[in-house]
Amino acid sequence: MKKKIVVAITGASGSIYAQQLLQQLQHLQSQIADVGVVMSNNAKQVWEFELGNETYKDFPFKFYDKHDFMAPFASGSARYDTMVVIPCSMGTMGRIAGGISDDLITRAADVILKERRRLILVARDTPLNLIQIRNMQTVTEAGGVICPAVPSFYSLPKTVEEVAMTVVNRVIDLIGLEQDTYRWSEN
């Protein structure tokens, strides 16, 4: 079955992760039925600051307004399989953990959890306070996956892009898409 995927981008540091995930989803389109994208206001600002461009406008996916509750994935009946929040701010994670579905990102996350489908939060902040740790626990207990934006180095990445891809590759594995990537003990 081809996947229907929601990508939500928030205003945590790490816009490069969102950029790389959208690029990879383009390459993996044969396995995908639909990608819907929604960005917070802060996500656009942080992307422009960190990456120095507005290339999120160039991806061939449908982008939804943050307040568009008419978007398909605002309802469980549309049967989206997976939602990735990348990067996921502590604010958005807290709203998801609290069930405060006051915009499309938090509503879509609420829907994915209630439908018992896969929610992946690429949470980014450091250090963490107890409220954030408890929110991670709450989302995990509700069935979500906290996939911290913590890169690995055992593949010996050489560039910032390669470092960031170590996170994005794990996200793609969690979505359940087949990909050609570095795997410990296989390469």
Ligand X SMILES: Cc1cc2nc3c(=O)[nH]c(=O)nc-3n(C[C@H](O)[C@H](O)[C@H](O)COP(=O)(O)O)c2cc1C
Binding stretches for ligand X (CB under 6 A): 10-13, 40, 42-43, 46, 49, 89-92, 124-125
Q: Is 91 annotated in some ligand binding site?
A: yes
Question: What single string gives the DSSP state of each residue in the chain?
Answer: --EEEEEEE-SSS-HHHHHHHHHHHHHTGGGEEEEEEEE-HHHHHHHHHHHSS-GGGGSSSEEE-TT-TTSGGGSGGG---EEEEEEE-HHHHHHHHTT---SHHHHHHHHHHHTT-EEEEEE--SS--HHHHHHHHHHHHTT-EE--S----TT---SHHHHHHHHHHHHHHHHT-------TTT-
Q: Is 95 annotated in some ligand binding site?
A: no
Q: Is 40 annotated in some ligand binding site?
A: yes
Nearest approach in angstroms of CB 27 to ligand X is 26
Give the closest residue to 88 by CA, choosing from 17, 151, 140: 17
Q: Which is nearer to ligand X, 4 or 124 (CB)?
A: 124
Q: Is 124 annotated in some ligand binding site?
A: yes
- Dihedral Cα 163, 166, 171, 172, nearest 10 deg: 110
Nearest approach in angstroms of CB 184 to ligand X is 27
Q: Which is nearer to ligand X, 149 or 177 (CB)?
A: 149
Q: Is 118 annotated in some ligand binding site?
A: no
Give the residue closest to ligand X by C-beta. Answer: 11
Nearest approach in angstroms of CB 115 to ligand X is 22
Q: Which is nearer to ligand X, 85 or 111 (CB)?
A: 85
Nearest approach in angstroms of CB 183 to ligand X is 28
Q: Which is nearer to ligand X, 108 or 177 (CB)?
A: 108
Binding-site entries: 11-13, 40, 89-92, 124, 154, 170
- Annotated binding-site positions for dimethylallyl phosphate: 154, 170
